[in-house]
Amino acid sequence: MNIRIGQGSDLHRLADGLPLVIGNCSIPHTKGCIAHSDGDVLIHALIDALLGAFALGDIGSHFPDSNSQYKNISSTELLKEVLSLPEFKTSSIINIDSTIHLEQPKLRPFIDQIRSNLAELMNCQINQISVKAKTSEGVGAVGKGEAIACDCIVLLQK
């Protein structure tokens, strides 16, 4: 059995009037991510973790923000493209563990929907996906409501 692990992270600044999308779930809020794509920090961190598990670079090397093809693209489309790579055709998810760092809004009401969305996208069971949300207790850019960040780890079996 060949086990692979990958770690990913992402951070985006927040601005008034932009949509907030986390794990392919639209979250009602006054602020959203400043990004070239839809700014879904969870899916971006997941993509980095998946690519890292097979030493395939990072999201920026596959989908550079200098390429207008990816302007305003849904992050789920980027994830689907990564999952179509040969390495992922013969591997399966053991589990995904993620932590979203965001001061506001509280994400508890959306966690189950986010997990369900990811399970469908990743073709795995919801109990293989953990999504946690943490505040930064008012400290730093996240704590001041200026940014959102996410850390993600994947464990794969090849």
Q: Name the pairing type of β-strands 92-101 and 129-134.
A: parallel
Note the pLDDT tens digit of each residue in 24-49. 999 999 999 999 899 999 999 999 99
Distances (CA, A) of 54 to 59, 75, 119: 13, 20, 21
Note the pLDDT tens digit of each residue in 46-80. 999 999 999 999 999 999 888 888 888 999 999 99
The pLDDT assigned to 86 comes to 95
Domains of the chain are: 3-157 (3.30.1330.50)
